[in-house]
Structure 1
């Protein structure tokens, strides 16, 4: 089965929605316009209930099928953009300076809207479809915000599914990983407080910048000498800030970055070693080093059986030959993991044309993916909530 014909017929309308969302990106918890468009579209399609303001700017739509079953399946899309100045060159590029949909969330939102439109017209399922449009996925805790606001108490589901675009130059290739599919993540902030001096008399200082620079290299020994080689882990220092003049040894220096892991024990080991190294460097150089960790993402755990369910729905649309249900784990992180801590489910990836990576100013989402993703979402509902006549 290729794309659902009704969704294919609606492809021009879906692309118009996508282009509008792309041209008007909003950061996490600021998706007021986007959420308003989503809610209006869901009401236009005839959903039974539309709820706004869930987790600040989230939207949830409920749609009852033609059957009388009480099972409920959730589908989730994220809505937020990134603080990036767009350089894609497309004619519908961001009109908001310093804001860009560089991760494809505008496409995710559009695909889920396409599935909602089709399912509202057909209602060819038995039970309730729950459409979850989530804010603030990009490290700001949007999933946790919706959960704290009673997402699964107010709108309970038996299982939940999500999907991400992948600019891998392989249109229609659907992949999903069983078990631990995406890494958990901690962010860290480190402050080195020393003693400043004239740069011509550095012996009078306790140089915070020298210590900070040394920490960058020392942290890499954790992966090489402390973490089991069979464990997957990443430690990246992504920021270092110090100084304001050519002739001043700075008093303070700051570092920031992230660690990624697939087991909490590995996270705990890495954090303990980082604290130990910071303490030792502080004593050795007569400075104070403070470390703060923030737990941003859980490990994303795909349910084994529901991984198969996602793969089967994808195969209905793109064909079995285009589906890999045993793909490798990915060291990126995704806060859909927080929803999977509450409800079993699965999260897959859908390839499309173009190879400029995500989170890049030149990223372009291929709009040809829109009816494909919408069809996969729709088939998940039809497969997981089948009518007796269609079972």
Structure 2
């Protein structure tokens, strides 16, 4: 198997760089999905498309007597609204759009799996290859589930991976339970009463002052209401109020935008309740009106412990000693593979991709997927699926 992916490495790198050069945002992956469908057709692998708008599900059935087992493998296809700053010859040719998270690599890895399985069908059961759109905050995983992913393609287990530039290339990590956090969106609107900042500030209800008090108070929730060991993040990332050219005008309104990250649903609920209570209290203190729009965007990505243990055993049996990493912690980044794990047992795997200690992080305009890990990722998903069919 390893020699197969080594033999096809060059062509897979070429595919990855073609996808990188032509990035598409969520639900707009028309060229990417056409490229994937063309390859699947050439391989003789049947598929359905337009599931979750631009999503694809390919079906590979083993040639041995069917054992009734059904395993899913998933990769995401979308890019980010970001201007690339790399200068290599395959840099994005779409202004304001780039593959800054490695989804071009994930798609390529799953294509590599398809190439191998098309030629090696000596197994029992069925493997589904899921090419998902719109992972980057647009709800592609949720859309595929709602469009009947698991009713049309029942699965016993599902697996996915993410390249991880915070872990050395060649290393692989899989966690029990929470792997990535729930991602919530928080929007706070403050309405006060504007006026003259010099002559009559005492007649105003100053939303700028209220914002300062509110931001400070909200940041006391973690560590005072949420126990430190319960792990939560609150980041208030943007504030807008007034006009920078109006140095003596107190505005009427202010807006604060942020995010909340948690691993446990109970802590998520506690954070929402505390934020709303504090906002109501500050509003009453200053005589302002404060509204809170709290949206649960992405649930936490929680691995099934038995599936995570199975993947660890698969890594130890099929890769060199030292490949399995046991030190990688959960991350407060979000991942909408969580919608699929909420329906079917499975695990999300971190594929180490760091070339050195100064690799660019995910979502950087200088990020570029490490092509060297394509064979490792393809082998990992392939042996995971084949072994899972025999469980």
TM exceeding 0.5: yes
Q: CA RMSD in A?
A: 1.6
Matches within 5 A, 1:13-32: 13-32=11-30
Aligned residue pairs: how many? 384
| Residue 234 of structure 2: aligned partner | 235
| Residue 371 of structure 1: aligned partner | 375
- The answer as to 2:370 corresponding to 1:357 is no
| Residue 53 of structure 1: aligned partner | 50
Once the two structures are overlaid, the 10-residue window that deviates more, 107-116 or 350-359, is 350-359
| Residue 226 of structure 1: aligned partner | 225
SS at match of 2:342: helix
| Residue 204 of structure 2: aligned partner | 205
Q: 2:388 aligns with which of 369, 384, 391?
A: 384
Once the two structures are overlaid, the 10-residue window that deviates more, 311-320 or 101-110, is 311-320
| Residue 37 of structure 1: aligned partner | 35
Paired residues of 1:35 and 1:58 also in contact (CA < 8 A): yes
| Residue 339 of structure 2: aligned partner | 338
Structure 1: runs of 5+ lacking an equivalent: none
Give, in whole Å, the separation in 1 of the partners of 2:43 and 2:239.
Answer: 49
Paired residues of 1:125 and 1:381 also in contact (CA < 8 A): no
Give, in whole Å, the separation in 2 of the partners of 1:311 and 1:60.
Answer: 26
SS at match of 1:200: coil
Paired residues of 1:301 and 1:340 also in contact (CA < 8 A): yes
Paired residues of 1:173 and 1:323 also in contact (CA < 8 A): yes
Relative to structure 1, is the Cα distance of residues 11 and 316 closer, same or farther in structure 2, using a 3 angstrom cutoff? farther
| Residue 283 of structure 2: aligned partner | 282
Once the two structures are overlaid, the 10-residue window that deviates more, 243-252 or 294-303, is 243-252
Q: CA deviation at 1:205?
A: 2.5
- Over residues 110-136 of structure 1, what are the superposed CA-to-partner deviations in whole Å (9 max), with x where a residue is unaligned? 001100111111113211110001111
| Residue 6 of structure 1: aligned partner | 4
Paired residues of 1:167 and 1:357 also in contact (CA < 8 A): yes
SS at match of 1:308: helix
Give, in whole Å, the separation in 1 of the partners of 2:379 and 2:326.
Answer: 18
Q: 1:97 aligns with which of 95, 98, 121?
A: 95
Q: CA deviation at 1:19?
A: 0.3
Give, in whole Å, the separation in 2 of the partners of 1:199 and 1:93.
Answer: 50
| Residue 79 of structure 1: aligned partner | 77
| Residue 175 of structure 1: aligned partner | 173
SS at match of 1:328: coil
- The answer as to 2:271 corresponding to 1:267 is no
| Residue 137 of structure 2: aligned partner | 139
Q: TM-score, normalised by structure 2?
A: 0.94
In the TM superposition, structure 1's runs of 4+ consecutive aligned residues that sit over 6 Å from their partners are none
Relative to structure 1, is the Cα distance of residues 316 and 114 closer, same or farther in structure 2, using a 3 angstrom cutoff? farther
Paired residues of 1:176 and 1:326 also in contact (CA < 8 A): no
| Residue 323 of structure 1: aligned partner | 324
Relative to structure 1, is the Cα distance of residues 338 and 120 closer, same or farther in structure 2, using a 3 angstrom cutoff? same
Paired residues of 1:317 and 1:372 also in contact (CA < 8 A): no
Q: CA deviation at 1:356?
A: 1.1
Matches within 5 A, 1:238-249: 238-247=237-246, 248-249=249-250
| Residue 155 of structure 2: aligned partner | 157
Relative to structure 1, is the Cα distance of residues 233 and 169 closer, same or farther in structure 2, using a 3 angstrom cutoff? closer
